[in-house]
Structure 1
């Protein structure tokens, strides 16, 4: 695989770099570096305005086909954009779940009417989405969902509970996996519904995290309603659609995630140089290993994405979650080692965490959300390596 950039790619890099320099000014300059995992509350309204400003200039949904409102950029051009975005210290986006997950799902599997209704709002960052998958007792094991939906006339009526729903408190819509066939079990009888959150039958309860923030939420559906035609794919075919969405989750956004990781690592390196821990051979070795791990992840991701580009999803995608989750959690440990005693106290009361403290606490969850390490290893063993299934029951 050729990982070099062409002359046209480098011209595109210059275009991205110049646009960011020209636009991250004034009020937008004040939100550089704001947001991110464990810090989603930072300058939220201003970041929404920034995303909408980007949309008007055509810098959202870069990989989407032009006919659906995107720019149809190549894989490497999308990578370049994310690289320059990170280097400019631009604020974290607010539209990831719509742009990177639901939008591609609708483009691949939605109806013409669904695409016409929802894609423009995602492109413009005027309608924000969350993901209604996990439930109490059905987290990594998505096939165990118990949220139910039934057809009443021209509407689905939904009852149940979702948990760990990222950014639900800031979202307009939720794509929900619900059981729509009474008596069905496991993967059968599930449907993928598009549900408006601003209605009497929906209650969103933020979950207080170790970071002191509430990115995750519980979402309760009590007679919530959505139109009968807002099911993606056929009723009962929700498992296939949900798995397609998870496949898109391992798309180019993983490169953006790793660039954010690189910025975090650079911050840890700066602290190590400033406080002298860089001279500790053990710390220096761990930093070097972290840097090598980041390069391995980047190459792995590009190789995997290249197989997506050619229409083939190889087994490489199955290991990406394990790789980045463990790496990022270890980076949180390293950050606290480098900080030493100063990392044990907050700078401001009552509980104002700095960047490294948020990194350490939030990364505890990395090996759990999005499919725990244990579940990921089972998937790799059973579906990729063909080993006997783990006994259940």
Structure 2
């Protein structure tokens, strides 16, 4: 398989790089580099800047309002976005529910929801996990009871990312308990302004507020908001999860982290010279760089396999495992490298390197928060233990 980029690809890269250097909001890049959490307005500014170029829906087909890019172009765009340190798009709308809507939704649903996702006027949350149903998602118990032209929804969703910003939430809800647990699950879109919905914040160990619990008490939802057939939600969820798990790789972002670690280690003195000269540290860094190369090749293989615009297959579970474990190991080495600079919250003390009052390497400020936040990566989106079972059963047929 040929993974080389053509001359046209490299010209496209320069076009994208120029955009991020000259047209994209530079204050957002600086804010994220200091470790500050983006606001809803920040996400909207970022996505509207991308939308002004027609670049916000990278993975969507052109007929649905996307770019229609080749796999190489998509990969190059992601590389340049992370190289610049720009905000990734909010995935719940653009990466998750959007493809479900344009693939399985009615024409009325497409007209209702896709434009707001594309122009960043409508924010979405994902209502999957429940207090007793995480990686074993099929065991969910939140219900949607038919009532005339509506469903009455009761239950609780948890670990709901950015629900505090959401205008809509797409949920998996049980409409039938008589068959297998994967059956009788329905995919329902719910307006967050509907009476009976309560959002409760969950503050994580890194001090961030990105997660929430969402309670539904007698929430009335029109049946017109159901995607596809009643009881077929598991099929649509599996399609969505393929898109979700391929979004974890962030190869260029990881390369940037490793470059920052190497740069800081070269300047950090120890009893035997620089930290980079320490054999144990150098070995860890080299191993991580080799693992990242392997991840990149795996991502390219997956992208090549879905070049026709189809959904990724079960191999997305491989990406989920190796990308999240690598993310955890990189952030762990980052804390080791940044040493006394690696404070839990130090963003306002960062000054440009090379200035007379240089105090803290820019990458050090968010390093502990990144380390703590990365602990969850091997759990959410289906724990890595579950992904390994999928690999064994569905790919290796063991």
1:269-298 residue CA offsets vs partner (Å, 9 max, x unmatched)? 222122131111111111111111111101
Aligned to 1:61: 57
Aligned to 2:8: 8
Q: How far apart are the structure 1 equivalents of 2:287 and 2:294? A: 10
Partner of 1:160, secondary structure, is: strand
Task: Using the TM superposition, name which of 283-292 and 104-113 deviates more.
Answer: 104-113
Residues 118 and 313 of structure 1: CA distance in aligned 2, closer, same or farther (over 3 Å):
closer
Partner of 1:233, secondary structure, is: coil
Q: How far apart are the structure 2 equivalents of 1:213 and 1:18? A: 32
Partner of 2:378, secondary structure, is: coil
Contact 2:129–2:157 (CA<8 Å) still a contact in 1? yes
Q: How far apart are the structure 2 equivalents of 1:342 and 1:86? A: 23
Partner of 1:232, secondary structure, is: coil
Contact 2:79–2:251 (CA<8 Å) still a contact in 1? no
Unaligned runs of at least 5 residues, structure 2: 269-273, 349-363
Q: How far apart are the structure 1 equivalents of 2:237 and 2:372? A: 29
Contact 2:130–2:156 (CA<8 Å) still a contact in 1? yes
Equivalent position to 1:46, from 15, 25, 42:
42
- Displacement of 1:71 in angstroms is 1.9
Q: How far apart are the structure 1 equivalents of 2:377 and 2:338? A: 21
Q: How far apart are the structure 2 equivalents of 1:343 and 1:53? A: 32
Aligned pairs for 1:360-371 within 5 A = 360-371=371-382
Aligned to 1:390: none
- Displacement of 1:348 in angstroms is 8.0
Aligned to 2:393: 382
**Cα RMSD for the two superposed structures:** 2.3
Q: How far apart are the structure 2 equivalents of 1:88 and 1:107? A: 30
Aligned to 1:265: 258
Q: How far apart are the structure 1 equivalents of 2:339 and 2:288? A: 18
Aligned to 1:124: 119
Aligned to 1:212: 207
Equivalent position to 1:32, from 17, 22, 29:
29
1:68-97 residue CA offsets vs partner (Å, 9 max, x unmatched)? 11121111111111112222222343x321
Unaligned runs of at least 5 residues, structure 1: 388-393
TM-score, scaled to structure 2? 0.88
TM-score, scaled to structure 1? 0.89
- Displacement of 1:344 in angstroms is 6.0
- Displacement of 1:313 in angstroms is 5.0
Aligned to 2:163: 168
Aligned to 1:373: 384
Equivalent position to 2:233, from 231, 235, 238:
238
- Displacement of 1:184 in angstroms is 4.5
- Displacement of 1:186 in angstroms is 1.0
Aligned pairs for 1:192-203 within 5 A = 192-203=187-198
1:308-360 residue CA offsets vs partner (Å, 9 max, x unmatched)? 225585553231111111111111221122233443665489xxx93111111
Q: How far apart are the structure 2 equivalents of 1:312 and 1:19? A: 29
- Counting matched residue pairs gives 377
Q: How far apart are the structure 2 equivalents of 1:261 and 1:56? A: 27
1:91-131 residue CA offsets vs partner (Å, 9 max, x unmatched)? 343x3211111111112211111111111111111111111
1:183-205 residue CA offsets vs partner (Å, 9 max, x unmatched)? 44510100000111122211111
